Amino acid sequence: MAPTQNTICSKHVAVIGAGAAGLVTARELRREGHTVVVFDREKQVGGLWNYSFKADSDPLSLDTTRTIVHTSIYESLRTNLPRECMGFTDFPFVPRIHDISRDSRRYPSHREVLAYLQDFAREFKIEEMVRFETEVVCVEPVNGKWSVRSKNSVGFAAHEIFDAVVVCSGHFTEPNVAHIPGIKSWPGKQIHSHNYRVPGPFNNEVVVVIGNYASGADISRDIAKVAKEVHIASRASESDTYQKLPVPQNNLWVHSEIDFAHQDGSILFKNGKVVYADTIVHCTGYKYYFPFLETNGYININENRVEPLYKHVFLPALAPSLSFIGLPGMAIQFVMFEIQSKWVAAVLSGRVILPSQDKMMEDIIEWYATLDVLGIPKRHTHKLGKISCEYLNWIAEECHCSPVENWRIQEVERGFQRMVSHPEIYRDEWDDDDLMEEAYKDFARKKLISSHPSYFLES
Ligand code: FAD
């Protein structure tokens, strides 16, 4: 456990972003006694859960002059986690059964997540800290403080000084596009999942979807409802993979990765199969991108590793006044934001003390060396996978808060297994009622719900 200090100080903190990460960070900072200004370009809270039919002006998002739309949510999206394990620990994401405008399913639609984040912001009066339609354009360290330059929607520019900056700007807006040999002369259309909204435009087409993780698995099935054929190219699959997947339209296949895209419109997969495709949909993830940060070389993005960061949060040379919430890839995102932000708030107040700069650098170097030994590429530095829980509980202990509940961890694991084995039905059929019951009993015990657990479990 980290050492603590008795004198608690209050800092003036800028939070960039009012998505799930920024909202809970603002709450935790204020709880700890700091004064907070949250900046967000959008008109309302919720970040990427603010669905918009609009998308970037360049469907592949490669053009640096394109108009950018922040959200990457598509119309049919439902959560990939059961709601009870997705919500913040002291504000459970439970169904509002008697409100017909709400979606009470266990894996609700994106609209319900936005409504939940709006409820959270209202409950904790977070909006009063947010400057909407205000984009942060430059953040730089100046004489031990932080200069933050912003501009609002009518072009009014402001320059303010803060003691600390917490970056909660999200990392699902700057697409990573797959490199495909031969693609320059391939004549078809291409789009990244960031710009995918509805299947309509793919009506009667032959579509190749690259990537078979959460978005790829969902989007390929969404498009299969209207397309002639959908072929998934999966890098994670063996080179001879060729399998028909069960969908009502009988038109979905999974292959190994693409070998070559030809000028005649054909796509050759590594399994030797060839299809003539109209469109390629890249479900190939995103890049970390902080265009507003001017840290004079202290921070670097190297093959999608944001370096050097102590426990994915603090930059040793500028700690603790610059921090990042939400970088690690793991299933329980909201809880991760909550635990990381409690740590940041406690370190900024001086209640919890970080190791020395040298010790933090040693820890980082050791972490990178471990990844090298395990053969894990740099681009996966922030993907915590199986060690997610250990990571969260380590931080929780540092800042003296409760570890992640056992039922939550098990729900995530069981849900993930169902997602992999039955991607088409895992949101509507499950075998972990026992864990769900445990979750609702836990909420009741902690007085986080006013109704008896059976009210939720039987409805
Ligand atoms: P965001 O929600 O992206 O918020 C960042 C905010 O920062 C935005 O409002 C943006 O306007 C603002 N911002 C950025 N730059 C600036 C700037 N320069 N100035 C001012 N404001 C700025 N997680 C789950 O837990 N369950 C799911 O089912 C799930 N499904 C997902 C599906 C998709 C397709 C994607 C892409 C992600 C999904 N996630 C899911 C992960 C999801 O990203 C996180 O749950 C979470 O919502 C991210 O919150 P955030 O606050 O980090 O970022």
Contact 223, 209 (CB under 8 A): yes
Of the CA atoms within 13 Å of residue 308, those in its CB half-sphere come to 18
Taking the C-alpha atoms of residue 13 and residue 145, their distance in angstroms, rounded to an integer, is: 10
User: 170 alpha carbon to ligand 1 midpoint, in Å?
Assistant: 5
Tens-digit pLDDT string for the chain (459 aa): 665 555 679 999 999 999 999 999 999 999 999 999 999 999 999 999 999 999 999 999 999 999 999 999 999 999 999 999 999 999 999 999 889 999 999 999 999 999 999 999 999 999 999 999 999 999 999 999 999 999 998 889 999 999 999 999 999 999 999 999 999 999 999 999 999 999 999 999 999 999 998 899 999 999 999 999 999 999 988 999 999 999 999 999 999 999 999 999 999 999 999 999 999 999 999 999 999 999 888 899 999 999 999 999 999 999 999 999 999 999 999 999 999 999 999 999 999 999 999 999 999 999 999 999 999 999 999 999 999 999 999 999 999 999 999 999 999 999 999 998 988 899 999 999 999 999 999 999 999 998 888 888 886
Residue 92: CB atoms within 10 Å = 20
Ligand 1 mean position, distance from CA 439 (Å): 25
- The residue whose CA has the least distance to atom 2 of ligand 1 is 47
- Name the closest-CA residue to atom 18, ligand 1: 136
DSSP 73: -
Q: Residue 286 to residues 177, 178, 233, 436: CA-CA distances in angstroms?
A: 8, 11, 18, 32
Q: Is 295 helix (H, G, I), strand (E, B) or coil?
A: coil
Tell which atom from ligand 1 comes closest to the C-alpha of 86: 25
pTM, two decimal places? 0.96
Question: What atom in ligand 1 is closest to the CA of residue 22?
Answer: 51
* Atom number, ligand 1, closest to the C-alpha of residue 80: 28
Q: Which tokens in the block code for residue 419?
A: 């997602």
Kindly report the protein residue whose alpha carbon is nearest to atom 29 of ligand 1: 79
Residues with CB under 6 A from ligand 1: 16-22, 39-42, 47-49, 70, 72-73, 79-81, 86, 135-136, 168-170, 172, 215, 292, 326, 333-334
Q: Using an 8 Å Cβ cutoff, are 330 and 338 in contact?
A: no
- Which residue, by CA, sits nearest to atom 42 of ligand 1? 333
Residues 171, 336: Cα–Cα separation, whole Å? 15
How far apart CA 14 and CA 52 sit, in angstroms, is 27
CA distances from 435 to 112, 144, 352 (A): 22, 48, 34
Count other Cβ atoms within 10 Å, centred on residue 264.
9
- Which atom, in ligand 1's list, is nearest to the CA of 134? 20
- Which atom of ligand 1 is the closest one to the Cα of 193? 34
Which residue has its alpha carbon closest to ligand 1 atom 23?
333
What are the φ/ψ torsions at residue 213 (nearest 5 degrees)?
A: -90, -155
Cα of 428 from ligand 1 centre, angstroms: 25
Predicted pLDDT at 150:
98
> Token pair for residue 410?
């098990």
What spacing in Å lies between the alpha carbon of 48 and ligand 1's midpoint? Answer: 4
* Residue of 333, 408, 427 to test ligand 1 pocket, by largest number of atoms within 8 Å of CB: 333
Among 48, 70, 292, 426, which is best to mutate for testing ligand 1, by the most ligand atoms less than 8 A from CB?
48
